[in-house]
Amino acid sequence: KAGVTQTPRYLIKTRGQQVTLSCSPISGHRSVSWYQQTPGQGLQFLFEYFSETQRNKGNFPGRFSGRQFSNSRSEMNVSTLELGDSALYLCASSLNQGMGFFGPGTRLTVL
């Protein structure tokens, strides 16, 4: 069974730009959660989608948004990038919350 895939793996953007990251969960998994990981803050929850609906949202500004498609693939978008958005963005898939299986992550660098 294929694992969680994330694209792209690496991104370099400049301040003010916007970016879209993609996550394909494990086949059959309907829940996709997104996390931001930085050295100082650890893993911080962004949002969770289940069956195309946002079920939970973390404490991030509205510049961070996401969506989920009918095939459970999910995208997250960050608009008006700031230097502090540089991080590893991870998605995790699960059948219905509970234990999550992480993808390899997207390393975003904002210059």
Partner 1 sequence: QKEVEQNSGPLSVPEGAIASLNCTYSDRGSQSFFWYRQYSGKSPELIMSIYSNGDKEDGRFTAQLNKASQYVSLLIRDSQPSDSATYLCAVKDSGNTPLVFGKGTRLSVIA
Window of 13-21, 60-68, 71-79, 90-98 that interacts with partner 1 by CB under 8 A: 90-98
Residue whose CB is less far from partner 1, 17 or 58: 58
Asked if 28 is part of the footprint of partner 1 (rule: CB under 8 A), the reply reads no
Q: d(Cα 58, Cα 40) in Å, to the nearest integer?
A: 17
Sheet holding 19-24, edge to edge: 5-7, 19-24, 74-78, 64-68
Q: Residue 91: which of 53, 48, 54, 57 has the closest Cα?
A: 48
Residue whose CB is less far from partner 1, 66 or 100: 100
| Phi, psi values for residue 60, rounded to 5° | -120, 150
DSSP 101: E
Considering only residues 24, 33, 36, 93, which one is a binding residue for partner 1 as defined by CB under 8 A? 33
Asked if 23 is part of the footprint of partner 1 (rule: CB under 8 A), the reply reads no
Q: d(Cα 103, Cα 92) in Å, to the nearest integer?
A: 6
CB of 84 vs partner 1, minimal distance in Å: 18
Chain contacts with partner 1 (rule: CB under 8 A): 33, 35, 41-43, 45, 48, 50, 55-56, 58, 88, 90, 92, 97-105
